[in-house]
C-alpha cells in the first residue's frame, strides 16, 4: 500500500514526464528524468539567489557589488528569506523524489573507507557495489537536508527578531553562518564533481542521459540493474574493441 506522500511523488513525476521529453540514444541510458531535472535546476536557481543575496547582506565589501542586482539593500534583505524558502521547498520535493536511491547502505560505509583512492582516481572502474549514487553524493545530499533544517530553524527568528527575542536571533546567526559554510564548501566540490572531474556527468542533468561507458565506470551496480549486463565484461569488451581499432590505425581513446 502506497502512502499519500508516495502517491503525490508518483503523480508529480508522471505529470512532468508528460510535459517534457528525454531522447535516449543507442549507446546511452536514461539517468535523470524530466521531473528530477526540473527540481534540480529549480533548487540550484533558488540556492544561487539565496547565496548571492545572503553574501550581500553578510559581507560589507560585497554589499555594494551585489545589492544592486536585487534592487538595493532593503530589497535584498526582503528577498533573501523568500529565495531561501523557494530553495527549501524545491529541495523538500527532491528529498521525496530521491529518498530511495539516497538511503545509506553498508556498501556506502565500505566506499567511504576508500575515499582516498576515489580522490586520487587510482581505479579504472568504481567498485562493483556502487549503485545509482555513490556515498560521496549521498553525503552531500544529507548535508543539504541537515543544513536546510538548520537554515530554516535559525532563519525564522532572524526574520522576525521582535517575535523571538534578540538572544534567539543572535544564536540563530551563529548556526545560520555554520550551515552556510557547509553548503558553500559542498557546493564548490559538487560543481567540480558534476562538471570537470567526470566528463559526461553534466549531460545527465541537462539532456537526462549518460553514455553506457560512463555508467559502467562510475556506477557499475546501477549499470547492471539498468541493462542486465555485467559492467566489467562490457568494459573489457570495449577495451578489446579499442585495441583493435588502434591496431588498425584509428585514434586511440580509452573506454571507461
Ligand atoms: C549550479 C551548478 C550545478 C551543477 C553544474 C550541478 C550539476 C549536477 C549534476 C551533473 C548532477 C548529476 C550527478 C549524477 O547523476 O551522478 C547533480 C546532482 C545533484 N545536485 Fe547539482 N549541480 C549544480 C547545483 C546544485 C545545487 C545548488 C544543489 C543544492 C544545493 C545541487 C544538489 C544536487 C544533488 C543533491 C545531486 C544528487 C547528488 C550528487 O550528484 O551529488 N546541485 N548536480
Q: What is the CATH number of the domain that holds 115?
A: 1.20.950.20
Distance of alpha carbon 202 from alpha carbon 195, whole angstroms: 5
Is 240 part of any domain?
A: yes
Q: Let me know if residue 19 belongs to a domain.
A: no
> Whose alpha carbon is nearest atom 10 of ligand 1?
202
Inside any domain, residue 90: yes
145 assigned to some structural domain: yes
List residues near ligand 1 (CB under 6 A).
31, 40, 43-44, 47, 133, 137, 140-141, 144, 187, 190-191, 194-195, 201-202, 204-205
d(CA 41, CA 64): 28
Tell me, yes or no, whether 15 lies in a domain.
no
Residue 41 lies in a domain: yes
Q: pLDDT tens across 189-248, in order?
A: 999 999 998 899 999 999 999 999 999 999 999 999 999 999 999 999 999 998 988 887
Q: Do the domain assignments include residue 86?
A: yes
The percent of residues above 70 in pLDDT, for the chain, comes to: 97
Residue 21 placed within a domain: no
In terms of residue numbers, what domain contains 221? 27-247
User: Per the structure, how many domains does the chain have?
Assistant: 1
Residue from 244, 159, 195 nearest 187 by CA: 195
pTM of the model: 0.92
pLDDT one-digit tens code per residue, 112-167 = 999 999 988 888 899 999 999 999 999 999 999 999 999 999 999 999 999 999 99
How remote is the CA of residue 165 from the centroid of ligand 1, in Å?
37
What residues have CB less than 8 Å from 60, skipping those under 6 apart?
none
> What ligand 1 atom has the least distance to the C-alpha of 48?
27
**Closest CA to ligand 1's atom 24:** 44
Measured between alpha carbons, how far is 212 from 227 in angstroms, rounded to an integer? Answer: 9
Amino acid at each position: 500500500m502506497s502512502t499519500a506522500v508516495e502517491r503525490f511523488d508518483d503523480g508529480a513525476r508522471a505529470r512532468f514526464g508528460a510535459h517534457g521529453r528525454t531522447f535516449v540514444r543507442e549507446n546511452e541510458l536514461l539517468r535523470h528524468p524530466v521531473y528530477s531535472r526540473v527540481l534540480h535546476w529549480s533548487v540550484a536557481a533558488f540556492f544561487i539567489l539565496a547565496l548571492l543575496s545572503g553574501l550581500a547582506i553578510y559581507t560589507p565589501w560585497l554589499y555594494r557589488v551585489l545589492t544592486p542586482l536585487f534592487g538595493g539593500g532593503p530589497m535584498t534583505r526582503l528577498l533573501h528569506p523568500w529565495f531561501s524558502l523557494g530553495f527549501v521547498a524545491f529541495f523538500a520535493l527532491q528529498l521525496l523524489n530521491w529518498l530511495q536511491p539516497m538511503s545509506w547502505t553498508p556498501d556506502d560505509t565500505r566506499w567511504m573507507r576508500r575515499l582516498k583512492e576515489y580522490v586520487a582516481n587510482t581505479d579504472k572502474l568504481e567498485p562493483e557495489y556502487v549503485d545509482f549514487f555513490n556515498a560521496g553524493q549521498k553525503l552531500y545530499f544529507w548535508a543539504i537536508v541537515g543544513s536546510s533544517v538548520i537554515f530554516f530553524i535559525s532563519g525564522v527568528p532572524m526574520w522576525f527578531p521582535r517575535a523571538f527575542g534578540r538572544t534567539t536571533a543572535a544564536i540563530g546567526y551563529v548556526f545560520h553562518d555554520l550551515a552556510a559554510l557547509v553548503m558553500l564548501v559542498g557546493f564548490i566540490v559538487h560543481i567540480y564533481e558534476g562538471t570537470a572531474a567526470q566528463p559526461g556527468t553534466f549531460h545527465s542533468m541537462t539532456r537526462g542521459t549518460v553514455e553506457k561507458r560512463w555508467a559502467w565506470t562510475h556506477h557499475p551496480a546501477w549499470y547492471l540493474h539498468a541493462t542486465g549486463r555485467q559492467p566489467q565484461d562490457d568494459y573489457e569488451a570495449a577495451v578489446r574493441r579499442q585495441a583493435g581499432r588502434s591496431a588498425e590505425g584509428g585514434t586511440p581513446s580509452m573506454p571507461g
